[in-house]
Amino acid sequence: MIPVKGYNGKKVAVLGLGRSGMATALALEEGGAIPLLWDDSAEARATAEMMDFTPVDLTRANAFDDVTSLIVSPGIPHLYPAPHPIIEKAMAAGVPVDNDIGLFFQSFATLDWESFSTMPRVIAVTGSNGKSTTAALIHHVLEEVGKPSQLAGNIGRGVLDLEPAHDGEVVVLELSSYQTELARAMTPDIAVFTNLTPDHLERHGGKGGYFAAKRRLFAEGGPDRAVIGVDEAEGRFLANQMSEGSTDDRVIRVSVDSKLTGVGWFVFSRKGFLSEYRKGKQAGSIDLRAIKGLPGTHNHQNACAAYAAVRALGVAPRVIEQAFHSFQGLPHRSQIVGEKAGITFVNDSKATNVDSAAKALQAFSHIRWIAGGLGKDGGIAALTSHLDAVVKAYLIGHSAKDFALELGETPYEICETMAEAVARASEEAQTGETVLLAPAAASFDQYPNFEKRGEDFMAEVQRWLDQD
């Protein structure tokens, strides 16, 4: 646990008692603060009571008298589409609003560091797609090369649930726009921006607000090194903003769309080959095509970003390449579930939007595609140009019939349930084909989250794999 500094003996309100909220409450208490906990859910408040906390109703009059700060869980809106009433109340009372990310950066460094031979460092990863895989891959490489490392943030553990840093340790954080938008302190040593595609637009008041939330990690954080994907206009703008000129190698530009040239520091992938160039000379290369845990162009982008971040720590290219080969990928993200009779089953339940589904469809050939769920605005019309490899689609969930209308000439079958879709795809698949779950939709019509949807897919696949 990271004890929160600066609030000893002071009242600090905590709104939202999920994973990060409860970790925040414990870390505040460990640092000597007096946490005042509240959640709109009676069930969440009951859970807090089981952990010996007494919830305090922050909706009551004068609730923020003598309160020093309000710490908000990332899922709670503070500006768009409308601030949560308790956050409005805090702001009206002049109480600063922060989140656990801000508290982490405020509290991470300790006096113990004076005795360390190598200062601990923080790598923070943000972006629309691929940030989980990128963060996990960085963490994996560090572990493989023997560097102490912890992984937290939007993936795995809450940031305040981490252990205090060891000598030379590297903490890798995956940060969502919800987390970067509100944190009052962000000082990563290395910041990574993977890409930007439209997402969470209602929460951020549009694409500009969404990008602004991501940009804060760089503009507010002032990292020593910035790894920036430049395949979108926003990334190119951000790289330009962070750089002092063409030779400024504090910015490492990353691409999977084009070969990057010049005298700066570049990492790019073309036709499955990763290349690193620095000061006009090639410094490293990796054949990514043979790495099973990183299939497809989107994963090659993740590999480039992770490679650049670890290179910024001084790790040699060949050592990174060796570590890449032992990376198994993340659950529900182009995860190979199994193979039988030459048919490969892949779980990409995390492909909840059109962009991420498109990347999954480009990663494989001869696809039996399972898609559907709770469709998002625009449906799947934007996927039309990515359906060439789809042999047949098997549609499930609330938007199955709507998706069917947008498939053009692609054969399809409305299956509704995961069990039926997996059964039909498995029965019809031929040697050399891939049964791919890439829903292009949210899961909430049939499942509580994309993880449960992916687990259901894997369970149905396992039933088929176990058949004689």
Residues annotated within a binding site for ATP: 127-133
What does the block give as tokens for 243? 């750089």
Report DSSP letters for 107-133, one per residue: HS--GGGGG-SS--EEEEEE-SSSHHH
Phi, psi for 425 (deg, rounded to 5): -65, -40
Distance CA 285, CA 321 (A): 9
For strand 273-278 and strand 265-270, is the pairing parallel, antiparallel, or unpaired? antiparallel
Tell me how far CA of residue 92 lies from CA of 79, 96, 299, in angstroms: 13, 10, 45
Binding annotation: 127-133
Q: Which single residue is written with the structure tokens 């910035």?
A: 226
Distance CA 438, CA 91 (A): 41
Distance CA 106, CA 102 (A): 6
- For residue 104, give the H/E element and its range: helix 100-107
Residue 177 CA, distance from chain mean position? 10
Residues in the chain: 468
Of 38, 53, 45, 46, whose CA–CA distance to 85 is shortest?
A: 38
- For residue 71, give the H/E element and its range: strand 67-72
Phi, psi for 232 (deg, rounded to 5): -120, 160
Distance CA 368, CA 424 (A): 10
Name the amino acid, one letter, at 359. K
Report DSSP letters for 168-214, one per residue: T-EEEEE--HHHHHH-S----SEEEE------SHHHHTSHHHHHHHH
